[in-house]
């Protein structure tokens, strides 16, 4: 068994780490405060190849899923909000196109992303969150076009996206068999961005409402065949769970580093607080959580790399453990900082806010437990 990254992956990890330290870490607090999306940094990320990771090599990508997870981890260490935008584009939204799009769709949209386009994934609705099949957004055929009507909510990248992948049902009585997937460009007639949510964290990425009001979509923008959208959505979510686990690892690493550094500098009762057993026990627990989360995440990434697809169980296990471990680690980081940790002057306050959503999106912790149990017991 080999638990080491190869030399190429180590070099890549070092390059991304330097990029994050130079281009993202110094500005992340500003983005959190202003909520202004850093298009200039996204352009730089594309220039160094981060928007080509795990994309097909014939379109300028690297095809390396493990390196992609390493990049997500490092970007999350710098800015969870930017990482959320990056993951949505690179994994969640592009998976249906990369895996199931036709040549015309791949030729148009993959190079666009490699150059740094933002993409969103329009699935969640007011009555369709964990219940993915319960979509109210409808579509119908009209000659050479499809007409979409409905509203999506909480859509990451919704306000920044150059295009999106969305899902609608032809007939709700068909359940999941009626759902199809479409590519929508932001200038399509009848498409608009509605309300932008005021979130606890994950700034600067938006969480926006997407409105389809007789939105006219060329038939060529249907992904696959009608009725295949549900399976495309689930596959994208399963694959993206590995990335959310990597986000959790990156946030956890930042919180752990901040807590250890502070504990070695802060003095109480005449000595550094890192010498107190209570603080030492918290640091030890944080280290164990972080290491276990990283190993589960890398195992799931390795599975995708070697098999070409994600199973349901391993990504769910990685996301469940890593996101809940991040909760514990960020909680302890605040505790170690004491009152200072509750102020915006210190990084751990932002990390604590950023962590919370990763236990919810791309499947809540409860849904991960349900998925894991169903895989183990083989219940349908």
Cβ neighbours of residue 341 closer than 8 Å, sequence gap 6 or more: 333, 334, 335, 348, 349, 352
- Establish whether 362 is a catalytic residue: yes
Q: Which of 185, 247, 362, 366 is catalytic?
A: 362
Active site residues: 362
């Amino acid at each position: 068994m080999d638990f080491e990254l190869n030399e190429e992956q180590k070099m890549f990890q070092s390059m991304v780490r330097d990029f994050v330290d130079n281009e993202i870490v110094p500005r992340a607090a500003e983005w959190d405060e202003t909520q202004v999306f850093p298009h200039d940094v996204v352009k730089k990320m594309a220039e160094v190849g981060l928007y080509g990771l795990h994309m097909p090599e014939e379109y300028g990508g690297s095809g390396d899923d493990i390196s992609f997870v390493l990049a997500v981890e490092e970007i999350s260490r710098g800015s969870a909000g930017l990482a959320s935008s990056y993951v949505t584009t690179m994994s969640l939204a592009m998976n249906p196109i990369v895996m199931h799009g036709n040549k015309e769709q791949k030729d148009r949209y993959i190079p666009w992303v490699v150059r740094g386009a933002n993409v969103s994934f329009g699935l969640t609705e007011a009555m369709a969150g964990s219940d993915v099949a319960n979509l109210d957004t409808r579509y119908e055929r009209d000659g050479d076009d499809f007409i979409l009507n409905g509203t999506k909510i909480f859509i990451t990248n919704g306000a920044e996206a150059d295009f999106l992948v969305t899902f609608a049902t032809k007939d709700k009585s068909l359940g999941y068999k009626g759902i199809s997937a479409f590519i929508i460009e932001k200038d399509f007639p009848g498409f608009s961005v509605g309300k932008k949510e005021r979130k606890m964290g994950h700034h600067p990425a938006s969480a926006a409402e997407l409105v389809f009001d007789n939105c006219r979509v060329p038939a060529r923008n249907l992904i696959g065949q009608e009725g295949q959208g549900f399976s495309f959505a689930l596959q994208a979510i399963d694959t993206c769970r590995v990335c959310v686990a990597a986000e959790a690892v990156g946030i956890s690493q930042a919180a752990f580093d901040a807590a250890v550094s502070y504990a070695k500098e802060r003095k109480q009762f005449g000595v550094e607080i890192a010498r107190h057993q209570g603080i030492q026990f918290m640091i030890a627990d944080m280290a164990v959580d972080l290491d276990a989360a990283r190993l589960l995440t890398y195992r799931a990434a390795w599975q995708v790399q070697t098999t070409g697809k994600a199973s349901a169980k391993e990504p769910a296990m990685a996301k469940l453990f890593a996101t809940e471990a991040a909760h514990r680690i960020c909680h302890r980081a605040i505790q170690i900082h004491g009152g200072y940790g509750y102020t915006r002057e210190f990084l751990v306050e932002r990390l604590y806010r950023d962590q919370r959503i990763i236990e919810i999106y791309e499947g809540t912790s409860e849904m991960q437990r349900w998925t894991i149990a169903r895989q183990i017991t083989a219940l349908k």
